[in-house]
Amino acid sequence: MVTDSVWGQSSLTLPDVESIFRVEVSLEMEGLDPIHSETVSPSVGPTVQEEVTEVTGFGRMIRVGTTEVSPTQENFQSEGLVFVDPGVAQLFEWEYIAGDPETALAKPLQMVITEAIALKYFDGVECLGQTLNLPTEISYTISGVIKDLPKGLPIAEELFASYATYPVRSNSQMIEGTVETYLQVPVGTSAVTAYLDRVVEK
């Protein structure tokens, strides 16, 4: 059985937030406790959009928790990091202060940050092309700055690394959970749920 979870709330300022759903999978097997997952295979988003005409967009994210970052190689501080594809920015209508929304998350080792992070580490939003370093000696280039996100979204992190950076293995097993996947379905989710149920039952 596949369920969908609505993140939209009428109190949010996003005009179409009621049409955004997260794909979740519940599996029931005889003799075992039910299994519920809020993550699915990386292939779910693009496959569902291709197969179900009611889906008008999708976005994927991979949460990694907190990580140490610094604009130099010292004085590292903990921040929340999540890998996102460009669809997340479109679904949740990020407002860019600096950078090109079309390319800011297109390549590996790109990073979009909130205005608060830009002020904290770079003293302003004019920081495109500068870098944030991780203790692992990986450096991300700042490719975009967005306004701080409103409360109530399923994203509390403030560092957004490009999804292309994460070594995701795309596979056809849609019940193997690795990625949070959000779908935009303006006309309701019945067609999407029916399609996913058929896939899981195979």
Name the range with the highest mean pLDDT among 2-6, 43-47, 144-148: 144-148
| pLDDT attached to residue 199 | 63
Mean pLDDT on 166-182: 60
In the numeric block, which tokens belong to residue 149? 């996100």
pLDDT bin (cut points 50, 70, 90) of residue 195 is: confident
Residue-wise pLDDT for 94-111, tens only, equals 999 999 999 999 999 999
32 φ/ψ sector (left φ>0, alpha ψ -120 to 50, else beta): beta
- pTM reported for the whole predicted model: 0.82
The answer, yes or no, to whether residue 201 has pLDDT greater than 70, is no
The DSSP string of 95-155 is -EEEE-TTTTTSSTTEEEEEHHHHHHHHSSS--TT-EEE-TTS-EEEEEEEEPPPPTTSS-
Closest to 19 in 3D by CA, of 192, 151, 157, 146: 192
In the numeric block, which tokens belong to residue 121? 């580490």
| pLDDT attached to residue 155 | 85
**All structural domains of the chain with their residue ranges:** 2-201
| pLDDT attached to residue 11 | 25
- Collapsing DSSP to helix, strand or coil, 91 comes out as helix
Mean pLDDT on 64-86: 90
The DSSP string of 6-47 is E---TTSS-TTGGGEEEEEEEE--TTS--EEES-B-TTHHHH
| pLDDT attached to residue 17 | 61
Q: 80 or 21, which is more confident? A: 80
Kindly tell me the burial class for residue 133, based on how many C-beta atoms sit within 10 Å of its own C-beta (0-12, 13-18, 19 or more): middle
Mean pLDDT on 67-92: 90
Q: 191 or 30, which is more confident? A: 191
Q: Of how many residues is the chain composed? A: 202
Residue-wise pLDDT for 58-67, tens only, equals 999 998 888 8
Cα 124 to Cα 45: distance, rounded to the nearest angstrom: 35
**Pairing assessment for the beta strands 77-84 and 159-162 based on DSSP bridges:** parallel
